[in-house]
Chain A
C-alpha cells in the first residue's frame, strides 16, 4: 500500500517535472526584503572516521547527506525530486528509465559533472553489499549512456525503479578523492572537536544560504540541530521531528567455531554495557513491537562471564560508526577487569576483511526506517549480516519470502518471517543487543529544513530567521 502510494506520487512528480524544475531553478523567493545569506548552524553528530559515505548509523546518514548529493530525494509525502536531472522518465514499452543530466553542473572543485560520473556512481552503488543494491541489481539488464542521458534498461517491467533510486546510498561520486557533490564540502577538521563545512558554490540544487556548518563532536558548542531521545527537549526552543528510524546493535559471530559459552558471555557483557549507557534492550531481530518472535537468550552471572572472557585473547571488531563510544566502552571494560582489543572497521572494508581474516566477534550497527515493511528488514538482516554463514538454506528462505510477498496473505508472510528468524536464532550467529531511538531537535531560529522519507533533515534551503 505504502509502495503504491509512493509510486503514484512518483509518477505525479514526473508529470509535474517542468513545474518542479522551474521551482528548483528559480526558487521564487525574491521579496522587497530578500532572503539573507549568512549565519552558521552547529550540528551535533558522531565523528566520522573518514569522508567516505557511511550510512550504517543515523549520524552517518545525516553527515553523508551534507556532503554527497543523492540521485533522487523522496519526501514524506512520497514526492520525488532531484537536483541532478532535468528530465527523468520510465518508458514501459522498452522497459527503460532515462535520466537526463542538467547542463553545466560541477563538483565542489569546479570540475564538470558528466553523465559518466552518473553511470560510475550507479555502478558503484550496485556493487555494494547492501540489500537496496541487490534489489536493484536483480532487475537491471543494462546501463548505457548517450550524450547527457543515462539509460537503465530493466529485465522486466518495474515502474517502481524510480522509487528504488531514492535510497540514501545512491549518491553522486567523483572519481577523485576529497571532491564532493553535496551542498557542503569539508574545509577544516579539528579531530575530536569539530568539522567545518562550507557551502559548495557549484551545488546542483543551488548554493546554501548558510555561511558554514559546524559539525560538533564534543560539548564545546551549543548545537542547533542534534539527535536525542524523543521528548527530551520538549518545551525548549527546539522543534522536535520524529526521525522515523531506529538503530540496532547486534553482536555477530561470522566464524562457525565459537563456543556457546563465549557467545553468551559476550552477549551478557554487551547487554550490560549498552544498558549502562541508557540504550533500550533489544529482544528481537528488528524491534520488539513488530517482531513476531522474541529472542530470549539467557545471561550469565558476572563471575561466570568474567571467568570466560578474562582468560581468552579476544579481539572485538566493531563497525567504525561505534567509535564515538570507544572511551566509555574501555572504561566499562576496565571496571569489569577485562582486556578486550577493540578494532574499528569501516563498512566499505568490512567484506574484504571478512574474506581474508577469521573474525570471531563483530559488533555491527544497522539503521532501519520504521515504515519499512518487516519482510524488507528481515531480508536486510539476512543479506547484510549473515556474511560467511549465508548458505543455500537462507537463499531458499529469502526466495520463498519474496514469493509469499506477492500472495497478499498476511498470515503466510508472518509465518515465513518467523521461520527465518527462528533459523537465524538457532544458527546463533546474530544476537540482538540494544536499540537506539531518536528524535531530531532543531533550534526554532532555523527555518526551511525539510525532513525526508528516510528521516534526514535536508538543509538545502535552511536559513536563519530574522
Chain B
C-alpha cells in the first residue's frame, strides 16, 4: 500500500513537472530577455512596478508566473532586483512604491492571450534618461491541463514550498514562544505561560529545559475568559532583554540577562513586541490589550530605549484599527513594515512610516507573524479546519507564495529557529473524541 502510494506521488510529481513547463518556459524567456538587457550593467536597482494580466489566466496562475519570474531575476548577481509587489488583485499588481526613488529602472509586465498562447510584453523604463529603453514580446503555449494545474496546485513549486519540520505535544495554556542565539552561540527557546517563562536549550533537534522565571502579577488584575500573552526577546548593545506581557495585567515584566541571571527591570505599561530602529533611534515597539479581552486597543506604542532604560514618559503613539495580531518586520533592526490582523479579520499592511499600504478584502485568521524580515505567516478565517498562508514580505512588498491546510485550530504563530532553519512555531488545538490536545509545529522552507 505504501509502495503504491509512493508510486502515485511520483506520478503526480511528473505530471506537475510536464504540466508546469509552459509557464516556466515563459518566465525563463522573459527573465532572460531582461537579464540580457542589463548584461554589462552593474550596481543597478530594478523592480517590476506595473503588472497587468489580460491573458485569461486565473489570478492564482498569474501569481505563480510572477513568482517564477521574480525568482529568476533575483538569482542574477549582476542586478539588484527589489520585489515591491504587495498584492495581485483583479488582474492588476499592487506595489509598494515608497522605495521608487531607489530604483534605476522600472519594469512593466503585461500578459495577453494570443490564440492558444500566452504572451508577455516586457517594457523597461530608465529613470536616468526618462524614457523607455527596452520593449520585447514573448509567448508560449500554456496547455489547458497546465492551466488547471496552476489553479489547483497551490504554489507547490520548489522555490517557495514551506514544510513542517517538527511536531511536539504541548500543554494547553502556552501563550507564546521565542528563540534566540545567546552570547555563547547556543540557541535558547523561551515558552511563556500565565505565571512563568520556561527556558529551553536547543540541543540538536531536542529541547532541554534549563531554567524558568516566575511571573508575579499584581493588581490591577483583570480576570479573563480568553487569556493571552506575548514574549519579546532582543539584543541591544550586546545585552539581552526579555519581556512578557498579557491581557490580564496592566504592566509587562521586563528583564535583562546579567551574569547568567535574569534581572527584573522596571515594569512596562504596554506589551512589547520587539526593538525597532526608526531613523537611527531605538524604540521598544508594542501595544496594549483591551484589558480582559482578546484584542489590542489600536495604538502602536514606541517607547524610546537606551541602555537598560525605557523612556515611558516620551512614548510615540501611532493609531491603527483595533487588532488581534501585529508584527514588525525589521531588517537589521530597521523597521521595514508592519503587519496587522484587525478585529474584522482583515490583513493590513503598513510601510515603515506607518502609512497603510493595503487592506486585504479576504478575511484571514487572528494569528500572524513575520520571520527575518522576509516571510510572513497568517492563519485562516476558519474554525474547523485551519490553514497557513505564507507571504514573502521582503523590501516592503507582500506576496502570497504558499498555503497549506492545518489539522486543528491555530492559536498563535511565532518566529523561531529549529534544525538550522529560521521559521514559524505554530501552536494548535486539535479536537479529539475524548477532548482536545495541543500541538506545537515548526514550519520552515526546507531549502532555506
Contacts and interface: CB of A to CB of B under 8 A. Distances in A.
A201 interface: yes
A82 to B, nearest CB: 13
A27 B379 contact: no
Given A22-B173, A25-B194, A33 B226 contact: no
Interface string B353-385: 000000000000111000000000001111100
Contact of B224 (A103, A105, A207): A207
Contacts, number: 101
B218 interface: yes
A187 B366 CA distance: 32
A206 B225 CA distance: 5
Contacts of B366: 31-34
B227 A25 contact: yes
Interface stretch (B68-76, B231-239, B288-296): B288-296
A207 B292 contact: yes
B328 interface: no
A112 interface: yes
B410 interface: yes
B227 A31 contact: no
Given A104-B221, A201-B292, A203-B223, A32 B383 contact: yes
B204 interface: no
Nearest to B381: A33
Given A32-B365, A207-B222, A37 B295 contact: yes
Interface residues of A, number: 29
Interface string B376-419: 00011111001000000000000000000000011110000000
Contact of B217 (A35, A104, A112): A104
B226 A32 contact: no
Interface in A3-58: 22, 25-35, 37
A230 interface: no
A106 interface: yes
A104 B222 CA distance: 9
Contact of A29 (B194, B225, B291, B381): B225
- Of the candidates A29, A103, A104, A204, the one having the most CB atoms from chain B within 10 angstroms of its own CB is A104
Contact of B429 (A30, A35, A83): A30
Contacts of B436: 28
Contacts of B411: 30-32
Given A22-B173, A104-B217, A104-B218, A34 B295 contact: yes
Contacts of A206: 223-226, 292
> Interface residues of B: mostly helix, strand, loop or mixed?
loop
B333 interface: no
A71 B380 CA distance: 41
Interface in B202-251: 217-228
A104 B219 contact: yes
Contact of A201 (B291, B295, B324, B386): B291
Contacts of A33: 345, 365-366, 381-383
Contact of B380 (A25, A32, A35, A103): A32
A144 interface: no
A202 interface: yes
Nearest to B172: A28
A465 B215 CA distance: 35
Interface string B130-142: 0000000000000
B172 A26 contact: yes
Contacts of A30: 226, 228, 294, 409, 411-412, 429
> Interface residues of A: mostly helix, strand, loop or mixed?
loop
B160 to A, nearest CB: 22
Interface size class for chain B?
Answer: 35 or more
B411 to A, nearest CB: 5
Contacts of A105: 221, 223
B227 A27 contact: yes
Nearest to B221: A104
A292 interface: no
Nearest to A110: B220
- Of the candidates B172, B226, B367, B411, the one having the most CB atoms from chain A within 10 angstroms of its own CB is B226
Contact of B223 (A28, A110, A204, A461): A204
Contact of A34 (B218, B226, B386): B226
A31 B409 contact: yes
A209 interface: yes
Given A22-B172, A28-B172, A202 B223 contact: yes
Contact of A106 (B219, B365, B386, B412): B219
A209 B290 CA distance: 12
- Of the candidates A29, A35, A105, A202, the one having the most CB atoms from chain B within 10 angstroms of its own CB is A202
B228 to A, nearest CB: 7
Contacts of A35: 225-226, 294
Nearest to B382: A32
A218 B217 CA distance: 44
Interface string A75-110: 000000001000000000000000000011110001
Given A26-B172, A32-B410, A206-B224, 20 more contacts: A22-B173, A27-B226, A30-B228, A30-B409, A30-B412, A31-B429, A32-B366, A32-B381, A33-B365, A33-B381, A37-B293, A104-B221, A105-B221, A106-B221, A110-B219, A110-B220, A202-B221, A203-B223, A207-B222, A461-B225
26 contacts: A22-B173, A25-B227, A27-B227, A30-B294, A30-B411, A32-B366, A32-B379, A32-B383, A32-B410, A33-B345, A33-B382, A34-B366, A37-B293, A103-B221, A104-B219, A106-B219, A110-B220, A206-B223, A206-B224, A206-B225, A206-B226, A206-B292, A207-B224, A207-B292, A209-B225, A461-B225
Closest 8 CB pairs of A and B: A32-B365, A104-B221, A206-B225, A207-B292, A27-B225, A32-B379, A26-B173, A30-B411
